Chains A and B, each alone.
Chain A
Amino acid sequence: MGDEPTTEATLELTDVSVRFGGLLALNNISFGVLPNQIVGLIGPNGAGKTTAFNVACGFQKPSSGTVRFPALGKGALKPSELAKAGVARTLQGVGLFNNLSVLENVMSGALSRPGGGFLTSVLGLPHGLGMERGLRSEAMATLERLGIAKFAGSIPTGIPYGIQKKVSLARALMGKPKLLLLDEPASGLDESELEEFAHLITELRASMSVLLVEHNMDFVMPLVDELVVLNFGQVIATGTPSVISSNEDVLAAYLGVDE
């Protein structure tokens, strides 16, 4: 998919290193995600996957190297600038707002869109209310698309884990992202939910790039276009799932350990 050399990557990490005191968490890693591509970031525990994710999101400053979003026309971004630039990220676990209804959780995904300032809020001006109404019906439509509309009024803590994960995805989608970063989307899901999620992500690639960190190889292998394998803070292999699954370094480092 989109392998022409002229295509600009949506996300590009170049020679990124992260040092925590004496520990080298990431050692000169480089990888990219092309438009409409699904990339999986895998590796054993402590390989640096989450650190790589945090560097991409601006939660962690790289000690050296660069993060860029060429297709979005952006350099490194702060976490609060991601949404506006077209980058959405889900968090490990679910990361929902636990005292807000599911509908409000999803609506909040569109907070980076213009919607009137403080004066509009405090005076309750009509155009602000109109936008809120529009947002509410859009959030409702997103919930319906994911088949969880009946939970709109619930509080996140009171609904099944799989549904919570979908809510978290719905919230990310409300930002109309060009790049979706999924942090362990499969964890805690049962067979049928996994299948559903894989299907959803495949559907999403029509309008965005997806980068996911995942442990569950059965979930990742058939889903992604490309795998980036990390071990001890280094990229030990990059390639299509079929190439990776026969790479001896990878088998030794990761797949072999997993029986």
Chain B
Amino acid sequence: MNFLKSLRVQETTRARLLSVSVLTIVALAISFLLPPVADSQMAGGAAITIVILGLSWLIGWSGQISLGNSGFMAVGAYAAGIWAHHHATTPLIFTFLLATVAGALSGLIIAIPSTRLRGPYLAGMTLAFSAAITPLAQNFTSVTGGEGGLFLNSLSTPSWFVHFFSGPNATIDANAQWTADLAVLVAGISFFLMANLFHSRTGRAMRLVRDNDVAAELVGINLGRTRTLAFVVAASFAGLGGALYTVINATVTPQTFPLTLSITLLTLMVLGGIGTLSGAVIGGIIYAFSANLVDHINALTGVNPTSNLGANMQGIIFGALLILTMIFAPRGIAGMGAAVQRLRKTRRSALASSSAVD
């Protein structure tokens, strides 16, 4: 666990890069052990992790609430999808960059009016944005493919990767493996960049604005610009996560990004721990395997999964978990870990001082 400490403040970028690489390689190794279904879930979880990183930055660090992140995801997803639809041979990295920039631009557009708003008004404004995105995608049929969305055969697993796993004794599903590994890799890079941001001067500026805006201005912070930057960063991460969705599924449809996804993102962020890097990963993992949890609980309680209750079980469980987290662990699962560590430390020092008295 010691290398995890290097993710914190005073370490060098190189140390941070090393520990993120180790984490990424571990995740990649795990993906090879998992069955294809779990690999696909892992890919989705990795994409969501990227979005939560951005959301955690926006809410936890800059102190601005957003219910618009499913909208930013949709922008990135459609940017990637529309581009790939017309330019089949573009390298993936370019598609991802394009989607990130598209997300950032949408964040900028939303931020300009939003950064003048606070609390519930800001939530309402961003909510309106994510509510508007789905109908937009449904109606501009010639560009977005309308209700049915776009199918992107060009985004299938690259042949070199398929070849790699297509021996006579191949036991690995190349498609699921590819999506999982690609998503984990992109999530790893995003994690590294966000870890840098968290502990940088820019990250500190965000927390100053969150804690005390008058004092922040007096140390030379332009409030509007800083709040806008927070949105742009969050939206670009959401855009990248959305693009990853498109690539993983080789399709993009309006139904993938409903308003409720924004709420789910918020829930996952709170469960993991607001404003923490590890919280975003925990949120992603919960998201990835929440379907299994739901199946399990349906089986345990004997609820028919196709019934009205069974179909809404995820929402019910997330809601209950959210309430429990808010009451018992307001800093989320990541915060619980930190609290346990602190407790052990104080107990150790208490023991040390009592033995010193002896």
Q: Interface on A for B, CB 8 Å cutoff?
A: 57, 59, 79-84, 88-89, 91, 95-100, 104, 107-112, 115-116, 118, 120-126, 128-129, 131-132, 171, 175
Chain A residues, Cβ within 8 Å of B200: 120-122, 124, 128, 132
In B255-311, which residues have CB < 8 Å from any A CB? none
**A100 B220 Cβ-Cβ under 8 A:** no
B197 interface residue per 8 A CB criterion: yes
**A112 B220 Cβ-Cβ under 8 A:** yes
**B201 A132 Cβ-Cβ under 8 A:** yes
**A175 B201 Cβ-Cβ under 8 A:** no
A-contact bits for B199-236, CB 8 A (1 contact / 0 none): 01111110110111011111111110000010000000
**B196 A108 Cβ-Cβ under 8 A:** no
What residue in chain A is nearest B218 (Cβ atoms)?
A89
B156 interface residue per 8 A CB criterion: no
**B203 A121 Cβ-Cβ under 8 A:** yes
Interface size classification for chain B: 20 to 34
User: A88 with B202: in contact, given A98-B211, A98-B212, A108-B208 (CB under 8 Å)?
Assistant: no
Most chain A CB atoms below 10 A, which of B210, B215, B218: B218
What residue in chain B is nearest A95 (Cβ atoms)?
B215
Q: CA separation between A129 and B195, bound complex, in Å?
A: 13
B12 interface residue per 8 A CB criterion: yes
**B219 A83 Cβ-Cβ under 8 A:** yes
Q: Which of the residues B196, B214, B218 comes within 8 Å of A88, measured between beta carbons?
A: B218
A-contact bits for B9-21, CB 8 A (1 contact / 0 none): 0001100110000
**A121 B212 Cβ-Cβ under 8 A:** no
**B193 A122 Cβ-Cβ under 8 A:** yes
Chain A residues, Cβ within 8 Å of B197: 121-122
Most chain B CB atoms below 10 A, which of A84, A97, A120, A126: A97
**B214 A95 Cβ-Cβ under 8 A:** yes
Chosen A-B contacts, 22 in total, with CB atoms closer than 8 Å, are A79-B217, A82-B218, A89-B218, A91-B215, A91-B218, A95-B218, A96-B212, A97-B208, A100-B207, A104-B204, A111-B201, A112-B220, A118-B202, A121-B197, A121-B201, A122-B193, A123-B193, A124-B12, A124-B196, A128-B201, A171-B219, A175-B220
**B202 A57 Cβ-Cβ under 8 A:** no
Q: CA separation between A131 and B203, bound complex, in Å?
A: 15
Chain B residues, Cβ within 8 Å of A91: 214-215, 218
**A122 B196 Cβ-Cβ under 8 A:** yes
